[in-house]
């Protein structure tokens, strides 16, 4: 058995049922993705549009591709025809672009809204006020080609587990408030995407139901 399939099996054994595993294959070759595919994995995450498009074209068509990285508005059109979930929607302008391309592709594109929970300025995302503003905007009410499926966030890169847990808890609380306020009785709003190789155990303990794991499956990356 390959190390990729062994890693996937090990992680799946650790994840409670109901937690979706997104295998983050960015920078990794198609051969490794096929190994994961043969181990039963069907959901893969990429953070660069061009790489995502190339891989989608050459790999099996029943793979669900998630865009997990920062997305530029002018690049949405390349992934709109096939993307299964966009994790990093962090502005109304981006959501508007996704809606527009969704209409062109005659699709309703599933999205997560990204929240800024880390103390690092470099990480993208909305704060809770901005999130509420977006959901209350007249524009958003009219969008027929996007569907908000939940929230996503990234914790600070640190060894301080208490700090990471606190940030994930903040995101979970936002998720619960948003659910109650705007998506009550709407079962499509159900995903809380938080946790990566270094912190997914903490994320799951804090209520994550979607983890994005790269290096623990495919090995360290040489570049980002
Ligand atoms: C790269 C990346 C991951 C996976 O990171 P690992 O530490 O390799 O598991 C998860 N989420 C996002 C947004 C990423 O860019």
Mean pLDDT of 84-88: 97
| Ligand 1 atom 15, closest CA | 69
**Is the distance from the beta carbon of residue 145 to the nearest atom of ligand 1 less than 6 Å?**
no
Q: Is the dihedral of CA 166, 168, 170, 173 positive or negative?
A: negative
Is pTM, for the whole model, over 0.85?
A: yes
**Is the distance from the beta carbon of residue 149 to the nearest atom of ligand 1 less than 6 Å?**
no
**Is the distance from the beta carbon of residue 198 to the nearest atom of ligand 1 less than 6 Å?**
yes
Integer CA distances (angstroms), 51 to 25, 69, 133, 154, in order? 10, 12, 33, 22
| Ligand 1 atom 6, closest CA | 214
Cα–Cα dist 45/52, whole Å:
8
Per CATH, the number for 3-218 is 3.20.20.10
Mean pLDDT of 138-158: 97
Mean pLDDT of 96-117: 98
Q: Which of 45, 87, 118 to mutate to test the pocket of ligand 1 (most atoms within 8 A of CB)?
A: 45
For ligand 1, what atom is nearest to the CA of residue 200?
9
pLDDT digits (tens, 9 = 90+) for 112-147: 999 999 998 777 899 999 999 999 999 999 999 999
Cα–Cα dist 32/34, whole Å:
5
**From the CA of 80, how far away is ligand 1's center (Å)?**
22
Predicted local confidence at residue 42, as pLDDT = 98
CB-CB contact of 32 with 4 (8 Å) = yes
């Amino acid at each position: 058995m390959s190390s990729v399939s062994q890693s996937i099996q090990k992680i799946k054994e650790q994840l409670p049922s109901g937690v979706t595993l997104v295998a983050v294959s960015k920078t990794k070759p198609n051969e490794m993705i096929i190994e994961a595919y043969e181990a039963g994995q069907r959901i893969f995450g990429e953070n660069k549009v061009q790489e995502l498009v190339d891989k989608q074209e050459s790999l099996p068509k029943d793979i669900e591709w998630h865009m997990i990285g920062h997305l530029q508005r002018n690049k949405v059109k390349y992934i709109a025809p096939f993307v299964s979930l966009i994790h990093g929607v962090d502005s109304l302008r981006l959501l508007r672009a996704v809606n527009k391309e969704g209409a062109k592709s005659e699709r309703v594109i599933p999205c997560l809204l990204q929240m800024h929970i880390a103390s690092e300025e470099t990480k993208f995302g909305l704060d809770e006020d901005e999130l509420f503003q977006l959901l209350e905007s007249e524009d958003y009410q009219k969008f027929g080609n996007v569907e908000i499926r939940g929230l996503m966030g990234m914790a600070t890169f640190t060894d301080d587990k208490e700090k990471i847990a606190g940030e994930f808890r903040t995101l979970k609380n936002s998720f619960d408030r948003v659910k109650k306020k705007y998506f009550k009785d709407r079962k499509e709003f159900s995903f809380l995407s938080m946790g990566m190789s270094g912190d997914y155990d903490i994320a799951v303990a804090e209520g994550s139901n979607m983890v994005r794991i790269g290096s623990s499956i495919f090995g360290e990356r040489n570049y980002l």
